[in-house]
C-alpha cells in the first residue's frame, strides 16, 4: 500500500507562477524525500527532510514537513517550462529500510 499520497494529481500553471503540491502519509517516518521525473526518464532527487526538521530550501524549491498532521508540501517558486514533470514524495518509515512512493503530481508549466 502507498505510504505517501500526493495532492493534487495534476496541476497546470503559467510560467512565473508558483506551484504547490502536498503529500500525506500514514505512519511515523524517519525522513521524507521529494523526487522529480521527466517523461520517460529516471527520477531525480530534489530534497530530503528529516522527521526533526520543519522546512528546507533548495534554490526555487521549498519543502515543509508537519509531523503532527503527517503531511509535507513542495513549493516551486517562479516556475519555468522546464519544471514540467511529475513530482513524487517518498517516505522512509521510522523503523523502516526502504522508500515508499506516492502516486505523484503531474505538473504542466505553460510558457
Kindly state the smallest distance separating residue 91's Cβ from other proteins, in Å. Answer: 10
Of residues 59 through 78, those in contact with other proteins by CB under 8 A are none
Of the candidate residues 31, 71, 72, 79, the single one contacting other proteins (CB under 8 A)? 31
Applying CB under 8 A, which of residues 23, 102, 107, 109 lies at the interface with other proteins?
A: 102
Q: Which is nearer to other proteins, 42 or 59 (CB)?
A: 42
Question: Given phi > 0 = left and psi -120 to 50 = alpha, else beta, which region is 9?
Answer: alpha
- CA 58 to CA 9: how far, in whole Å? 23
Please identify which residue in 11, 23, 32, 33 interacts with other proteins, judged by CB under 8 A.
Answer: 33
Partners of 44 in the β-ladder: 36
C-alpha cell at 70: 503527517
> What residues pair up with 106 in beta bridges, in sequence order?
10, 86
Q: Are 47 and 33 in contact (CB under 8 A)?
A: yes
Verify binding: residue 26, other proteins, rule CB under 8 A: no
- Please give the residue ranges that form the binding site for other proteins (CB under 8 A): 2, 30-31, 33, 35, 40-45, 48, 88, 90, 92, 96-104, 106
Amino acid at each position: 500500500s502507498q505510504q505517501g499520497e500526493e495532492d493534487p494529481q495534476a496541476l497546470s500553471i503559467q510560467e512565473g507562477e508558483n506551484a504547490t503540491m502536498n503529500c500525506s502519509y500514514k505512519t511515523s517516518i524517519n525522513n521524507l524525500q521529494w523526487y522529480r521525473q521527466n517523461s520517460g526518464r529516471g527520477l531525480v532527487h530534489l530534497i530530503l527532510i528529516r522527521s526533526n526538521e520543519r522546512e528546507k530550501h533548495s534554490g526555487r524549491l521549498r519543502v515543509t514537513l508537519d509531523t503532527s498532521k503527517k503531511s509535507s508540501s513542495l513549493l516551486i517558486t517562479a516556475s519555468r517550462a522546464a519544471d514540467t514533470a511529475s513530482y513524487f514524495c517518498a517516505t522512509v518509515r521510522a523503523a523502516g529500510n526502504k522508500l515508499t512512493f506516492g502516486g505523484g503530481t503531474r505538473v504542466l508549466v505553460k510558457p
